[in-house]
Structure 1
Amino acid sequence: MGFDICSRPRNAATTRAAILEAANARFLAESYDQVGMRDIARDVGVDPALISRYFGSKEELFSSVIENCGDASALMAGDRATFGERVAHDVIYGPRKEFKLRWLLLMLRSIASPKAQDVIQRQSECNFMTPFTQWVGGEDAEIKARLTAGLIMGLTVSRDISGGFNLTPDQCDRLHRRLAATLQDFIDN
């Protein structure tokens, strides 16, 4: 694991990005408690003090890694009236999203650490659940958002882990229709 930043111009943005990339690789390979700032610094070829200068603490560095994992904007893009159809189509027929599986692995690998757990929960709320819940709106917005997110996440992880749903095209079509109706119902009612 090493990132050669010697061939790149040394500037704050490039160095910060290299540190973030190395931290992401480390947190994917090891749990939060196993990752050391010195290890990340060695991977990038910088002094550990530089990581502290850019990110503050290991917890803040981990928070930056988690923050780069994504947000709820893709779910909220598009017409609200076609939400169920769009999302169901992506879940059933969309491509496997490696970055989302890496994000899940990163979180699962570190969730046992109280510090990492706090960061994961904070980032999940700030970057995903709060904006999505606000977008859902209305009575029981929190419940509707949690049901929707849980169903989407569960089916997506199931699909990606097993390599697909192992269903016939007709079964996929029926699953798509039922999922679209269920997701739309979660949002609308």
Structure 2
Amino acid sequence: MTTAQVGEERPPAGRRDAEASKAAIVRATRHLLARHAHADITLKAVAERAGVSPPLILKYFGNKDALFTSVMDFEADVDALLDAPLEELGRHMVRSVLAGQAERGADPILRIVFAPLHGEQGEILRANFRTQVSERLAARLPGADAGLRAELAVSAVVGLGVMYGIARGPQVRAADIDDVVERYAPAVQAQLNG
């Protein structure tokens, strides 16, 4: 008997396809949210970009508002951003944002930059960002001014991400990522250390 016959722990093909479809829908929605106002994005546009049908989006997410609410959550993204010991966190955060831009053409944390485009949904995005990113980082930092230092550290990496991925600064984009990390991470780490 093979491991597949014994009961290998892989999800059924339909489940893998469903997970891939959901991931494609989320990626497509994030892409569109970074370029258009919430009110201007249709389920049809999301479906076309994701390579699925609009009814499939409704099946997985219920409605447009539920889809956008799920996309405006930063929990999973901040797990990756903050996944390092405190003494190495500045380097990790800088590398994470740059690698996301260089390898995937996007960094999920940078969605906050587009909050002004989204009206009421932008307020949800801002509130989620504050609690799920800035406040979560602050909880890891020592000192009475941890909240301020967390916001300054996050500001630094978001600003770098904007220069790299949105403004497309030619010097930053041409530089080796390791070089940028060496130059930039100490400023971020200084805020984290206090």
TM-score (norm 2): 0.64
Post-superposition shift, 1:32? Answer: 0.8
Amino acid at match of 2:121: A
Sort the Cα spacing of 1:59 and 1:83 in 2 relative to 1 into closer, same or farther, 3 A. same
- Which structure 2 segments of 5+ residues have no match? 1-12
Q: CA contact under 8 A between 1:91 and 1:155: conserved in structure 2?
A: no
Matched with 1:59 is: 65
- In the alignment, the residues of structure 1 paired with residue 158 and residue 174 of structure 2 have an alpha-carbon distance, to the nearest angstrom, of 19
Post-superposition shift, 1:150? Answer: 0.7
The one of 73, 80, 84 equivalent to 2:79 is 73
CA displacement 1:143-169 (0-9 Å, x = unmatched): 010011111221232234113338999
The one of 12, 17, 40 equivalent to 1:34 is 40
Amino acid at match of 1:23: T
Matched with 2:128 is: 123
Amino acid at match of 1:54: Y
Post-superposition shift, 1:185? Answer: 2.4
- In the alignment, the residues of structure 2 paired with residue 20 and residue 167 of structure 1 have an alpha-carbon distance, to the nearest angstrom, of 30
Matched with 1:155 is: 160
Tell me, yes or no, if structure 1 residue 44 matches structure 2 residue 52: yes
Q: CA contact under 8 A between 2:97 and 2:157: conserved in structure 1?
A: no
Post-superposition shift, 1:57? Answer: 3.6
Matched with 1:136 is: 141
Matched with 1:164 is: 171
Amino acid at match of 1:83: L
Matched with 2:102 is: 96
Tell me, yes or no, if structure 1 residue 184 matches structure 2 residue 189: yes
Post-superposition shift, 1:61? Answer: 0.8
CA displacement 1:20-52 (0-9 Å, x = unmatched): 3443454345321111235445762243xx644
Sort the Cα spacing of 1:69 and 1:92 in 2 relative to 1 into closer, same or farther, 3 A. closer
Q: CA contact under 8 A between 1:62 and 1:119: conserved in structure 2?
A: no
- Which structure 1 segments of 5+ residues have no match? 1-7
SS in structure 1 opposite 2:121?
A: helix
Indicate the RMSD between aligned Cα atoms, in angstroms. 4.0
SS in structure 2 opposite 1:71?
A: helix
Q: Report which structure shows greater RCO (CA 8 Å, sep ≥6).
A: 1
My pick for the range that moved more, 110-119 or 16-25, is: 16-25
SS in structure 1 opposite 2:77?
A: coil
SS in structure 1 opposite 2:117?
A: coil
Q: CA contact under 8 A between 2:61 and 2:67: conserved in structure 1?
A: yes
- In the alignment, the residues of structure 2 paired with residue 71 and residue 84 of structure 1 have an alpha-carbon distance, to the nearest angstrom, of 16
Post-superposition shift, 1:132? Answer: 1.2
- In the alignment, the residues of structure 2 paired with residue 158 and residue 41 of structure 1 have an alpha-carbon distance, to the nearest angstrom, of 30
Sort the Cα spacing of 1:188 and 1:14 in 2 relative to 1 into closer, same or farther, 3 A. closer
